[in-house]
Amino acid sequence: MTETLIIRVQGLTREYRLGSETIRALRGVDLTLRHNEYVAIMGPSGSGKSTLMNVLGCLDTPTAGEYWLSGVEVSRMNDDALARVRNREIGFVFQTFNLLPRATALHNVELPLIYGGVSAGERRRRASHALARVGLQDRMHHRPSELSGGQRQRVAIARALVNEPSILLADEPTGNLDSTTSAEIMAVFEHLHGQGQTIIVVTHEADIAARARRVVTLRDGLVHSDQLQAAA
Amino acid sequence: MPFGEAIRLALRMLWSQKMKSGFSLVGVFIGVTFLIAVVSIVEGMNRYMTERFAGTFFGVNTFHLRRFPAFSEDVPAETWRLWRRRPRITEDDARAVEAGLTVPVTTAWQSTASATVQYRGRIARDIEITGATETYFEIKNYRIERGRSFTAQEVRAAAPVIVVGNELARRLFDDRDPLGREIKIRDNLYRVIGVVEAQGNLFGISLDKFAVAPATAPVKKFTNPPGLVDAVLIRAASVPEMRLAMEQTEAIMRSRRNLRPNQDNNFALETSEGILDVWGKINRILLAALPGLVSISLVVGGIVIMNIMLMAVAERTREIGIRKALGARRRDIMRQFLVESATLAVVGALIGIATGVLLAQTIASTTPLPASVAPWSILVGVLLGGGVGIAAGLYPASRAARLDPVDAMRHE
């Protein structure tokens, strides 16, 4: 079991200072994730799910507690080391896609490889392969403004996968998409999960969460419930 | 991110915002244009002075024995009065020096006055008429373009022959062959036997409005009172030999004039270095003012670029956040913005170099000022541009590098 453990979080707290007030976004979260799990993190706004997602994505560091990712403690790492972990271990999919508007789909997908120090030829090969995996091989030289919402999100997924990360971290991935396109994107996730990808989806939509195999609900900075479920 | 990648990205960024980029590099552009243009002109004059002026006007390894220096600056009235009271150089002085020098030298006599030259109703005024010996042309490096110069025999025989400058020939004869034609100077006729190759001009003054006749010819009647010369030109084979010849000339002249050891020379030994000294001072003033002027525009240019980069960082906060989320380290972001601002400044500098060279060439072709682009000034221009860009980009880049990815991505 332990050898397949990807995430181990213990007593994770995160506090913000806002003037004289201290906001406790996470109050001691415990969570473990194994390889090839498909987890939805739910909770009302203010429950701390965004903060948890930032900490899990190594975009933010916890105030206290431990976070082990792939057997390495990342909770005490400095900025540059975290950048390295984000580059190698984590693939992000955001609600607003977060593509570079002036760059082509191909260049957007190449970005993580550029920061990973991959050579130009290899970069191009891997980026076009990743785009082909999400069915966009014929849209490689389009800019985001020339793509539909669903296509943009698929570019973002290709970008998230191009470095073969340990976890795919999606934050409201269908929040800006219509229901047909949402279903399309969720089908892509389902497919990736089938290929062995570990996926965490942060969402407040029950039907999105229903696609996951496990649902973790946060409330007031603590894990409120943690349930396994059958595939929808 | 590899360096080449960063430059490509920066150029793409510049190109996509042409207008803004254009304005932001104006400061650097002006500074570098100025640098190149001024240095080119100073360099051009330098070359002119050392190669052409000192060489042609004066003669290489040549000194002149005169009553007082022909080229001098800021002479006080008192000194000037003393100079005017000095005895003049005589033909006998010249012969004594020629006989007394042990160093192998070439010497020539020279007496010059201004006169009007006529040819069949054509009149050329203010022409420099020189009476000289046959060696004059050799010492002055005058190349004869057509015909020949006069010979020692013609000097001995006081032949009424004359060699004319290029512009004088054109004024009097247009395109007709000047050789063999007779020109009139102060009621005497001279046969033109040669034309000197064009010497160009110096600060707008033509160096081709002259005529040279044997010192013994009738020109002697108005160039100098009998038995006197303006100058004895003495050319040695090398600088050390010239120095030695100068010492010997000084000793000969002092003894001829019975000067006691405590008395100063009452004659002048002038070299081209004297002229170059005067030029060197002008040169230094020009070059001393240059760094100030250039650095003012570069500082202004740097401030503009810094502001543009701060704006770019603010505008692209979200992009920075995305890049950081995807694994860009602080130094990656830092480098991206530094390269961008350096590229901006270097592009400005390159445009400045092109404009400066063009400006220098325009000045050279439309005004009497010569110009010659100094390779070092181009290098300095590029380095200054890059330096200003990096200096101006440091603060904006470090701000970008320190951005928190979560906050940055939330930025609209």
Q: Which two tokens stand for residue A133?
A: 């995996």
Nearest-by-Cβ selection for A116 from B322, B327, B406:
B327
**Sequence-separated (6 or more) residues with CB below 8 Å from residue A53:** A41, A169, A171, A200, A202
Question: Domain-by-domain residue ranges, chain B?
Answer: 3-53+277-410, 111-224
- What pLDDT is attached to residue A166? 92
- What pLDDT is attached to residue B1? 61
User: For the segment A119-172, what is each residue's pLDDT rounded down to a tens digit?
Assistant: 999 999 999 999 999 999 999 999 999 999 999 999 999 999 999 999 999 999
- What pLDDT is attached to residue A199? 96
Nearest-by-Cβ selection for A115 from B1, B12, B319:
B1
Contacts of A80 in chain B (CB under 8 A): 329-331
Contacts of A98 in chain B (CB under 8 A): 318, 321-322, 325, 409
Residue in A closest to B331 by C-alpha: A80
Question: Domain-by-domain residue ranges, chain A?
Answer: 36-61+79-228
User: For the segment A22-81, what is each residue's pLDDT rounded down to a tens digit?
Assistant: 999 999 999 999 999 999 999 998 899 999 999 999 999 999 999 999 999 998 899 999
Please indicate if any CB of chain A lies within 8 Å of the CB of B4: no
Q: Which two tokens stand for residue B259?
A: 């000067």
Percent of chain A with pLDDT over 70: 98
Burial classification of residue A17, based on how many CB atoms lie within 10 Å of its CB (0-12 exposed, 13-18 middle, 19 or more buried) = exposed
CATH pick for A36-61+79-228 out of 3.40.50.300, 1.10.1840.10, 3.40.50.10140, 1.10.630.10:
3.40.50.300
Of B396, B317, B348, B377, the C-alpha closest to B36 is B377
Mutate to test the interface with B, among A51, A79, A93, A171 (most CBs of B within 10 A): A79
H or E element in which residue A124 lies: helix A120-133
- What pLDDT is attached to residue A46? 86
Check if the interface score ipTM surpasses 0.90. yes
Quote the minimal CA–CA distance from A85 to chain B in Å.
7
CA–CA gap between residue A231 and residue A191 (Å, rounded): 12
Quote the minimal CA–CA distance from B330 to chain A in Å.
7
**Sequence-separated (6 or more) residues with CB below 8 Å from residue A74:** A58, A67, A68, A81, A82, A85
Nearest-by-Cβ selection for B323 from A94, A102, A111:
A111
Mutate to test the interface with A, among B326, B333, B407, B412 (most CBs of A within 10 A): B326
**Sequence-separated (6 or more) residues with CB below 8 Å from residue B10:** B336, B339, B340, B342, B343, B344
Contacts of A115 in chain B (CB under 8 A): 1, 323, 326-329, 332
Quote the minimal CA–CA distance from B23 to chain A in Å.
22
Q: Is the pLDDT of residue A3 over 60?
A: no
Mutate to test the interface with B, among A60, A97, A98, A110 (most CBs of B within 10 A): A98
H or E element in which residue B342 lies: helix B330-366
Please indicate if any CB of chain B lies within 8 Å of the CB of A92: yes
pLDDT averaged per 10 residues, chain B (length 412):
76 79 84 87 79 69 89 81 91 93 93 91 91 91 91 92 93 91 92 90 77 90 88 90 93 93 91 74 79 85 90 92 94 92 91 91 80 87 91 95 92 78
CB contact at 8 A, A37 and A213: yes
Say what the alpha-carbon torsion angle B205, B210, B215, B219 is, to the nearest 10 degrees.
Answer: -110
Instruction: Check B16 against A79: CB less than 8 A apart.
Output: no
- Going by pLDDT thresholds of 50, 70 and 90, the confidence category of residue A10 is very high
Residues composing chain A: 232
Which three-class secondary structure state does DSSP give residue A184?
helix
Quote the minimal CA–CA distance from B392 to chain A in Å.
25
Q: Is the pLDDT of residue A86 over 70?
A: yes
Q: Which two tokens stand for residue B310?
A: 């701060």
Contacts of A87 in chain B (CB under 8 A): 326-327
Mutate to test the interface with B, among A74, A80, A115, A202 (most CBs of B within 10 A): A115
Please indicate if any CB of chain A lies within 8 Å of the CB of B198: no
Between the alpha carbon of residue B51 and those of residues A30, A65, B43, B108, B165, the distances in Å are 86, 80, 12, 21, 20
Please indicate if any CB of chain A lies within 8 Å of the CB of B411: no
Between the alpha carbon of residue A155 and those of residues A86, A138, A189, B320, the distances in Å are 18, 12, 13, 19
Please indicate if any CB of chain A lies within 8 Å of the CB of B409: yes
